[in-house]
């Protein structure tokens, strides 16, 4: 059973920088997993932020960036704003149409 | 613009059945793979099922395999999820999502607003 790991929670000060990570219970995340990231605020559907590791979806501000850091995928928010306070989910593609969601990270901006 | 509108959710008893629908518009539905994704109350997102553009290839999460059936009608621009033998743990908001898939990426580029399924006696 593949488990995708994310920090349960994180906090950042307004204007600060935060990096959320996405790992595998066994093994390393690489670009071949096509990591993607989604933002979800309470009561709303998820919004696509990043796909294919580091490509920003249309309309996503450039303060959001994606990368591979060590053996994990990473989402970095530079210059965090109050409305970045959300849940963030990563998704890894396992092949054959199967994906696994991470458990999500609740980001607090304070 | 792309729109995905789910319907069919509701309250059902354990062991019961429900059929969800997702009406798609604003794009050529038959060109895209589609998925169902769910979110239990207060919990994270969970991938449920995937169907190829023609409907010939289908995959399910282990948690629903043998109980749920995904299908599509490209003539009606609609995606479906037939859910049988429902359990309390199937209680969730069910989203349909469009899949963007190439040799370089695989991700969900559009999501509906979801339809709530509650399984309770």
pLDDT of B102 reads: 86
pLDDT tens by residue, B54-83: 999 999 999 999 999 999 999 999 999 999
Task: State the Cα–Cα distance between residues B37 and B114, nearest whole angstrom.
Answer: 9
Q: Is B21 exposed, middle or buried (0-12, 13-18, 19+ CB in 10 A)?
A: middle
- Do B112 and A45 count as a contact with CB atoms less than 8 A apart? yes
pLDDT in tens, chain A (110 residues): 889 999 999 999 999 999 999 999 989 999 999 999 999 999 999 999 999 999 999 999 999 999 999 999 999 999 999 999 999 999 999 988 889 999 999 999 99
- Do B100 and A103 count as a contact with CB atoms less than 8 A apart? no
Q: CA neighbours within 13 Å on the CB side: how many for A110?
A: 6
Of B35, B107, B113, the CB nearest to A34: B107
Using an 8 Å Cβ cutoff, are B105 and A55 in contact? yes
**Chain B partners within 8 Å of A73 (Cβ):** none
Q: B104 pLDDT band (50/70/90 cuts)? A: confident
Of A48, A87, A99, the CB nearest to B109: A48
Give residue ranges of A with CB < 8 Å to any B CB.
Answer: 34, 36, 38, 40, 45-48, 51-52, 55, 57, 87, 89, 91, 93, 96-104
**Chain B partners within 8 Å of A99 (Cβ):** 35, 47, 50, 106
Of B44, B59, B108, the CB nearest to A98: B59
- Identify the residue among B22, B36, B45, B50 best suited for mutation to test binding to A, counting A beta carbons within 10 A and taking the highest: B45
Cβ neighbours, 10 Å, residue B28: 10
* B87 Cβ contact list (under 8 Å, min separation 6): B14, B119
Q: Is A98 exposed, middle or buried (0-12, 13-18, 19+ CB in 10 A)?
A: middle
Buried b or exposed e, range B55-92, using 16+ CB within 10 angstroms: eeeebbbeebeeebebebebeebbbbbebeebeeebbb
Using an 8 Å Cβ cutoff, are A49 and A37 in contact? yes
CA A1 to chain B, closest CA, distance in angstroms equals 10
Residue from B43, B34, B46 nearest B106 by CA = B34
Of A52, A89, A98, the CB nearest to B104: A52
The SS3 of residue A106 is strand
Task: State the Cα–Cα distance between residues B38 and B19, nearest whole angstrom.
Answer: 14
């Amino acid at each position: 059973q593949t488990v995708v790991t994310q920090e349960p929670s994180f906090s950042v000060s307004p204007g600060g920088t935060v990096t959320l990570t996405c790992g595998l219970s066994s093994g390393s995340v690489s670009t071949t997993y096509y990591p993607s990231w989604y933002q979800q605020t309470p009561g709303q559907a998820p919004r696509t932020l990043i796909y294919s590791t580091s490509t920003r979806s249309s309309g996503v501000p450039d303060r959001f960036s994606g990368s591979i850091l060590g053996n994990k995928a990473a989402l970095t928010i530079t210059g965090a704003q109050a409305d970045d306070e959300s849940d963030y989910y990563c998704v890894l593609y396992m092949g054959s149409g199967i994906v696994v969601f991470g458990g999500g990270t609740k980001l607090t901006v304070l | 613009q792309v729109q995905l509108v789910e319907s069919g959710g509701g309250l059902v008893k354990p062991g019961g059945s429900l059929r969800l629908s997702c009406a798609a518009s604003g794009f050529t539905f038959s060109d895209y793979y589609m998925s169902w994704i769910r979110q239990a109350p207060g919990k994270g997102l969970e991938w449920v099922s995937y169907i190829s553009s023609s409907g010939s290839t289908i995959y399910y999460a282990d948690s629903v395999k043998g109980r749920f059936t995904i299908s599509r009608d490209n003539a009606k621009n609609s995606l479906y999820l037939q859910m049988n033998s429902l359990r309390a743990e199937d209680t969730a908001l069910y989203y349909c999502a469009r899949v963007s898939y190439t040799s370089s990426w695989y991700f969900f580029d559009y999501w509906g607003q979801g339809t709530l399924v509650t399984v309770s006696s």
